[in-house]
């Protein structure tokens, strides 16, 4: 078996209590996870179970208390252009137009415009923002802003894209459109994706593997390999007779862990 692109080995992480003298909160407890290059993996689980913490560790925003976080065979110690991040909010710079937001990274790194502009224009076409290059973020809808954020994350050519509930704030129709867009661009790029969501249908539709995390402290409670072939059409997946039983199984485990999380909060 080839070495994974992303690996967490026995990773634990705690956060200090919010008040002086308060006990630390254990976010992750000896989590081990391997993600192959080009794989699309979704993380599900109750709020506070450590899903976003895993993304932050892989991104290099935080460091593990125990265990190893490895990217392409090297310990993760800081953020880098080999890992793009997309958050729930688009986080575009309000004083920059779309093209300047998308190209912010390479411009700040001193890359000549001739090297990044053609690729930036290609990604804007892929995400359906051709013609909006000079628009300010406030002139865009929420879905359009998130498409710009997606183009910005993809522009440096990262080997992995880390996505923290990127479509959670969008309306249902825009969310479906963004899921289809992400699937199309991902299938053409081969980028590894680690995607956090609360939506079981979204996870099954997008992922090669779905992992459900336990109530805090987070562990991998269960894992499924998604059987649907690629390239995928989301409508075809919903109509597939394998979808309903798979959804039921995943949802059952998610609900079990959500109930455990509520019970934990009630005794704290």
142 and 219 inside one domain: no
**Residue 258 and residue 138 in one domain:** no
Q: Are residues 172 and 231 in the same domain?
A: yes
Q: How many domains does the chain have?
A: 2
> In sequence order, what E strands does the chain have?
6-15, 25-35, 40-44, 66-71, 74-75, 83-86, 160-164, 192-196, 209-213, 220-225
Same domain, 178 and 256: yes
The pTM of the full predicted model, rounded to 2 decimals, is 0.91
Q: Is 257 strand, coil or helix?
A: helix
**pLDDT above 90 (res 109):** no
pLDDT band at 22 (very low <50, low <70, confident <90, very high): low
- The answer on 172 and 152 residing in a single domain is no
d(CA 181, CA 86): 14
Stretch 98-123: mean pLDDT, rounded?
Answer: 93
**Residues 245, 118 share a domain:** no
Q: Please, what is the average pLDDT of the chain?
A: 91
Same structural domain, 229 and 138: no
Q: Are residues 165 and 143 in the same domain?
A: no
Do 146 and 266 lie in one domain? The reply is no
Task: Tell me whether residue 55 is in a domain.
Answer: yes
The residue-averaged pLDDT of 155-172 equals 91
User: Looking at 38-52, 142-156, 254-268, which range is the least confident one?
Assistant: 254-268
Range of the domain at 265: 37-64+73-82+159-268
Residues 220 and 205 in one domain: yes
> Half-sphere exposure of 215 toward its Cβ, with a 13 Å CA cutoff?
13
Q: Kindly state whether residues 97 and 117 are assigned to the same domain.
A: yes
**Which among 131, 157, 183 is the end of a domain?**
157
| Residues 176 and 145 placed together within one structural domain of the fold | no
- 18 in a domain, yes or no? no
pLDDT recorded at residue 114: 92
- Considering only residues 233 and 136, tell me which one the structure prediction assigns the higher pLDDT: 136
3-state secondary structure (DSSP) of residue 90: coil
**140 backbone dihedrals φ, ψ, rounded to 5°:** -105, 155
Q: DSSP readout, 15-56?
A: E--SSTTPPPEEEEEEEEEEE-TT-EEEEE--TTSSHHHHHH
pLDDT at 47: 87
CATH (domain of 213): 3.40.50.300
Domain boundary among 112, 131, 157: 157
DSSP class of 155: T
């Amino acid at each position: 078996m080839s070495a994974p692109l992303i690996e967490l080995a026995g990773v634990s992480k705690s956060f200090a209590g919010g008040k002086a003298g308060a006990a630390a909160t254990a976010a992750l407890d000896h989590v081990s996870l391997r993600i192959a290059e080009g794989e699309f993996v979704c993380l599900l689980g109750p709020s506070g179970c450590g899903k976003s913490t895993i993304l932050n560790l892989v991104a290099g925003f935080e460091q593990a208390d125990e265990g190893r976080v490895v990217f392409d065979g090297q310990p993760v110690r800081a953020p880098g252009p080999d890992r793009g991040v997309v958050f729930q909010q688009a986080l575009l710079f309000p004083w920059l137009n779309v093209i300047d937001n998308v190209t912010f990274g390479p411009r700040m790194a001193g890359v000549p415009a001739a090297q990044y502009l053609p690729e930036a224009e290609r990604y804007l076409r892929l995400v359906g923002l051709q013609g909006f290059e000079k628009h300010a973020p406030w002139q865009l809808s929420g879905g359009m802003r998130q498409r710009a954020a997606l183009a910005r994350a993809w522009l440096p050519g990262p080997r992995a894209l880390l996505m923290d509930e990127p479509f959670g704030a969008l309306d249902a129709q825009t969310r479906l459109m963004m899921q289809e867009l992400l699937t199309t661009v991902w299938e053409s790029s081969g980028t590894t994706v680690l995607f956090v969501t609360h939506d079981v249908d979204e996870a099954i539709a997008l992922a090669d593997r779905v992992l459900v995390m336990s109530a805090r402290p987070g562990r991998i409670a269960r894992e499924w390999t998604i059987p649907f072939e690629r390239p995928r059409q989301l409508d075809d997946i919903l109509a597939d007779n394998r979808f309903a039983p798979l959804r039921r199984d995943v949802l059952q485990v998610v609900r079990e862990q959500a109930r455990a999380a509520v019970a934990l909060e009630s005794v704290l």
